[in-house]
Amino acid sequence: MPQAKPLRSSTTGALSGAIRVPGDKSISHRSLMLGAVAIGETVIHGLLEGEDVLHTAAAMRLLGAQATRDEAGVWHVRGVGLGALAEPAQVLDMGNSGTAARLLIGLVAGHPITCVFTGDASLNKRPMARVTKPLEEMGARFVGRSGGRLPLTVVGSDGLVPVTYRLPVASAQVKSAILLAGLNTAGATTVIEAEPTRDHTELMLRHFGAEVRTERLEDGALAVTVIGQPELTGRTIHVPADPSSAAFPAVAALLRPGSEVLLNDVGMNPRRTGLYDTLVEMGADIAFENRRDQAGEPVADLRVKHGPLKGVVVPADRAPSMIDEYPVLAAAAACAEGDTVMLGLKELRVKESDRLAMVAEGLTRCGVSVQVGADDSLTVHGTGRPPKGGATVATAMDHRIAMSFLVLGMASEEPVSVDDGAFIETSFPGFAGLMNGLGAKIADA
Q: Catalytic annotation on 324?
A: yes
Task: Give how far Cα 174 sits from Cα of 106, 199, 210, 232, 240, Å.
Answer: 9, 12, 19, 22, 23
Residue 107: CA atoms inside 13 Å, Cβ hemisphere, count? 30
Catalytic residue, candidates 199, 265, 324, 398:
324
DSSP one-letter string for 18-35:
EE-PPBPHHHHHHHHHHH
Distance CA 118, CA 192 (A): 29
Task: Give how far Cα 95 sits from Cα of 174, 175, 183, 426, Å.
Answer: 19, 21, 25, 8
- Burial label for 11, CB within 10 Å (0-12, 13-18, 19+), is middle
- The arrangement of strands across the sheet holding 164-166 comes to 164-166, 188-193, 222-227, 212-216
Binding residue positions for 3-phosphoshikimate? 25-26, 30, 171, 173, 324, 351
Phi, psi of 96 (to 5 degrees): -105, 5
Are 24 and 247 contacting, i.e. CB atoms less than 8 angstroms apart?
no
Task: Give how far Cα 30 sits from Cα of 173, 200, 278, 302, 376, Å.
Answer: 11, 8, 27, 25, 30
Binding residue positions? 25-26, 30, 98, 126, 171, 173, 324, 351, 355, 400
Binding residue positions for phosphoenolpyruvate? 25, 98, 126, 173, 355, 400
* Residues known to be catalytic: 324
